[in-house]
Amino acid sequence: MRQFLLNEEFILDKVRIGVIGTGYMGKNHVRVYSEIKGVELVAFSDIKEQLVSQLSKHYDIKGYVNYLDLLEKEDIDAVSVAVPTPIHKKVIMDVFSYNKHVLVEKPITVNLEEANSLIKSSEQKNLIFMVGHVERFNPAILKMKELLKNDYFGEIVSLSARRVGPFITRARDTGVIIDLAIHDIDIMRFLTEKSINRVHALGRKKLTQYEDYAKVLLEFKGGILGSIEVNRLTPTKIRDLSITCTQGFATLDYITQDISVYGKILDTDFKDYDELILKFGNPEIGKPFVKKQEPLKLELEHFVSCIRAHKKPLVNGREGLKNLEIALRAQKSVNDNYIKIE
């Protein structure tokens, strides 16, 4: 691994990256890595020969049909893995055998046993292992985290998320809880910094053999409640989050990266509804400034910075494991309470 001494610390000269799997998300990894300063996108692999040929020409880099050829022949420091979840463990274990750092698209694996196996291997080999929960790097979420940290709203009472939209064929092999709700599970854990005590969920099948729409209810330590609505039936894409706190209320749009803040409650002492209206009326709405950036680029830049400094990622393997555990509990709740609708 190429290193040089700077301020008495060894850091990488240029981080050399490979991408394994260039489908829906993998293609974006290739694009973004090619734009990041201090990164050399060396090669990629995909099982589709035509896609390999097209991307190789477009980005002027090497492409392989067999990812093992990439690992064997190319001098790289790290790999983004964006293959189907059922083969995450196999591919990542192969990457670890070549002592390369890994960023894997969420979810970490299909089950907890495989996730624990990958975490153990990465720790034994002292390798960076990051899970791609990209919404952690959404500038609106980072701004919301800052506001909460500064006690702008008081204490969190509840969170409500919607992640709905039209059906896409790539999601045919999993349900909406693992595919979509896991994002909001991660974000709610991140914002509250609380563990989850109880999980309950209901869902129904409509288009696939898995749940296509679901409602997930989370109870956090301390009594905070979280609700998540997910589906692949809504004709328009909606990604939003609402947070009720003891001294205010805020809404967040993941897509536009806009935040609206409804003014602090200054006084909770009132005798009747009329006095409540007189005291509060219509709350003032604030719009905190959010510097809009591509979340994936921020995520991949973070991964590269972790490799350079050999530091633990914001979403490491153990964080990915916790998110998967909660999502699987919600999925089990759906299956346990499933009633077929004729």
Distance of CA 37 to the CA centre of its chain: 23
CATH number belonging to the domain at 3-127, selected among 3.30.310.50, 3.40.30.10, 3.40.50.720, 3.30.830.10 = 3.40.50.720
Predicted confidence (pLDDT) at residue 10 exceeds the cutoff of 60: no
What is the C-alpha separation between 108 and 319, in angstroms, rounded? 9
What is the C-alpha separation between 168 and 212, in angstroms, rounded? 11
Among 9-23, 220-234, 296-310, the least confident range: 9-23
What is the C-alpha separation between 23 and 21, in angstroms, rounded? 6
CA distances from 251 to 86, 134, 256 (A): 35, 19, 12
Architecture of domain 136-294+325-336: 2-Layer Sandwich (3.30)
pLDDT digits over 199-251, tens only? 999 999 998 889 999 999 999 999 999 999 999 999 999 999 999 999 889 99
Q: Which of 63, 107, 67, 69 is nearest to 85 (CA)?
A: 107
- The two tokens of residue 214 are 């679901």
- What pLDDT, on the 0 to 100 scale, is given for residue 285? 77
Average pLDDT for the chain? 91
pLDDT digits over 104-157, tens only? 999 999 999 999 999 999 999 999 999 999 999 999 999 999 999 999 889 999
- What pLDDT, on the 0 to 100 scale, is given for residue 1? 47
Question: Which residue would you say has higher pLDDT here, 337 or 46?
Answer: 46
What is the C-alpha separation between 294 and 280, in angstroms, rounded? 38
What is the C-alpha separation between 178 and 335, in angstroms, rounded? 13
- What pLDDT, on the 0 to 100 scale, is given for residue 50? 95
Q: Which of 215, 217, 156 is nearest to 190 (CA)?
A: 156
Domain ranges of the chain: 3-127, 136-294+325-336
Among 32-41, 135-144, 170-179, 265-274, the least confident range: 265-274
